[in-house]
């Protein structure tokens, strides 16, 4: 299989179109299952009562915010290295969804912090570095929007995205490197999780749901970007006529 | 987890504002993103149909 075949927007466009409903359906199923586990299977927390149920969106959203940034930066790096048009389109397509999940991580964290810590916000290392991640996404989108030529916008955005990658390990390890009000990781690669199995399952299923959702949303947005940027091309005009 | 009644479920053990505030905003933003994407695709297609055949080669 020649993977470079799919690096042109023209051949990737229909593939992405076929994938979207599948990832959308998987996202709906996983989120429904995750919410069921989160609200009806997982027990009440001994210390936090029902407030802890925010975990089922807070942690998956925070994971997605970092993961999507890495995926976005990878596409951006590929674009700089190989100068493929698709790479820049994919990076731009991921950014708003990444920003969305970053905002949700901060928002749900704030609503969780108030009843458990007694404050909506503190300038500790975890919260601050996550806020910087939100500004990196906004900066990436603003920089791209400010440059008329899409290829130059891709390159400028790619440099910003790659420099910003340094923030991801800072977010992840912030709870280890500094004394933070935010708790340490309950789930990590090196230790057994320190939480009830049903809580962990609910969180993992929701994470898959958000993951599938992000793929679907990014593919739909990538298709929009392809239609916008390739509007002078024959295939885009043909597609528009065909879908009338 | 058995909530017993709908009121108990909605009350979330006194944390209704925080729990539902998190879930409803999440739901709202995801729905908003889906709607915005649908509108964006529609306008991209409308623009293509408007200019597609008439302005070949003209960006």
Contacts with B52 from chain A: Cβ below 8 Å: 231, 236-237, 240-241
A54–chain B Cβ distance below 8 A for any pair: yes
Mean predicted confidence (pLDDT) in A56-67: 97
Count CB atoms within 10 A of the CB of residue A15: 11
For residue A61, how many other CB atoms are within 10 A of its CB? 24
What percent of chain A is predicted at pLDDT more than 90?
Answer: 75
Query: Does A217 contact chain B (CB < 8 Å)?
Result: yes
B39 or A84: which leads in pLDDT: B39
> How far is A133 from chain B, CA to nearest CA, in Å?
18
User: How far is CA B7 from its chain centroid?
Assistant: 27
Domain ranges of chain B: 24-52
Confidence at residue A84, expressed as pLDDT on a 0 to 100 scale: 87
Which residues in chain A touch residue B48, judged by CB atoms under 8 angstroms apart?
227, 231, 236-237, 239-240
Euclidean distance between CA atoms A234 and A237, whole angstroms: 5
Closest chain B residue to the Cα of A241, Cα to Cα: B49
Output the pLDDT for position A39: 93
Size of interface A-B (CB pairs under 8 A): 103
> In angstroms, what separates the C-alpha of A1 from chain B's closest C-alpha?
30
pLDDT at position B59 = 45
pLDDT digits (tens, 9 = 90+) for A142-152: 999 999 999 99
Contact call for B1 and A53, based on CB within 8 A: no
B contacts of A112 (beta carbons < 8 Å): 18, 22
A221 and chain B in contact, CB less than 8 A:
yes
- Residues of B in Cβ contact (< 8 Å) with A111: 17-19, 21-22
Residue A243 has pLDDT above 50, yes or no: yes
Tell me the mean pLDDT per 10 residues along chain B, length 59.
84 93 97 97 92 53
* Nearest residue of chain B to residue A243 (CA atoms): B45
Q: Is A99 helix (H, G, I), strand (E, B) or coil?
A: helix
pLDDT in tens, A218-238: 999 999 999 999 888 889 998
Instruction: Tell me which of A38 and B58 has the higher pLDDT.
Output: A38
Band of the pLDDT at A7, cuts 50, 70, 90?
Answer: confident
Q: Once rounded to an integer, what is the mean pLDDT over residues A167-180? A: 90
The ipTM is: 0.90
> What region, left, alpha or beta, does residue A37 occupy, with left being phi > 0 and alpha being psi -120 to 50 degrees?
alpha
Q: Determine which of A57-66, A112-121, A193-202, A212-221 has the lowest per-residue pLDDT on average.
A: A193-202
Asked if the model's pLDDT at residue A177 lies above 60, the reply is: yes
Which residues of B are less than 8 Å from A149 in CB distance? Answer: none
Decide if A231 and B21 are in contact by the 8 Å CB cutoff: no
What is the C-alpha separation between B36 and B27, in angstroms, rounded? 14
In angstroms, the separation between the Cα of residue A228 and the nearest Cα of chain B is 6
Query: Do B57 and A233 touch, CB atoms closer than 8 A?
Result: no
Mean pLDDT of A99-109: 98
pLDDT at A201: 93
Q: What is the mean pLDDT of residues A99-128?
A: 95
**Hey, which residues 120-179 in chain A have their CB within 8 Å of chain B?**
none
d(CA A14, CA A34): 31
pLDDT over 70 for what percent of chain A? 96
B18: nearest CB among A100, A115, A223: A115
């Amino acid at each position: 299989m020649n993977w470079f075949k799919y690096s042109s927007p023209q051949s990737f466009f229909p593939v992405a179109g076929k994938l979207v409903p599948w990832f959308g359906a998987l996202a709906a199923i996983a989120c429904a299952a995750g919410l069921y586990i989160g609200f009806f299977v997982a027990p009440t927390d001994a210390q936090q009562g029902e407030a802890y149920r925010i975990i089922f969106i807070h942690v998956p959203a925070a994971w997605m915010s970092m993961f999507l940034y890495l995926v976005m930066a990878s596409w951006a790096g590929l674009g700089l290295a190989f100068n493929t048009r698709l790479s820049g389109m994919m990076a731009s397509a991921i950014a708003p969804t990444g920003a969305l999940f970053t905002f949700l991580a901060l928002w749900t964290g704030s609503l969780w912090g108030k009843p458990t810590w007694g404050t909506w916000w503190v300038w500790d290392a975890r919260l601050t570095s996550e806020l910087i991640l939100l500004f990196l996404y906004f900066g990436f989108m603003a920089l791209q929007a400010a440059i008329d030529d899409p290829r130059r916008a891709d390159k400028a955005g790619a440099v910003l995205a790659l420099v910003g990658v340094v923030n991801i390990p800072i977010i992840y390890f912030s709870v280890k490197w500094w004394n933070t009000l935010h708790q340490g990781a309950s789930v990590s690669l090196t230790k057994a999780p320190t939480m009830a199995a049903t809580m962990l399952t609910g969180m993992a299923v929701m994470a898959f749901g958000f993951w599938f959702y992000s793929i679907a949303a990014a593919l739909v947005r990538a298709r929009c970007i392809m239609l916008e940027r390739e509007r002078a091309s024959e295939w885009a005009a043909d597609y528009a006529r065909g879908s009338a | 987890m058995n909530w017993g009644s709908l009121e108990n479920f909605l009350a979330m053990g006194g944390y209704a504002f925080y729990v539902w505030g998190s879930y409803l905003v999440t739901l709202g933003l995801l729905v908003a993103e889906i709607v915005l994407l649908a509108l964006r695709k529609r306008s991209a297609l409308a623009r293509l149909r408007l200019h597609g055949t008439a302005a070949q080669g003209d960006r």
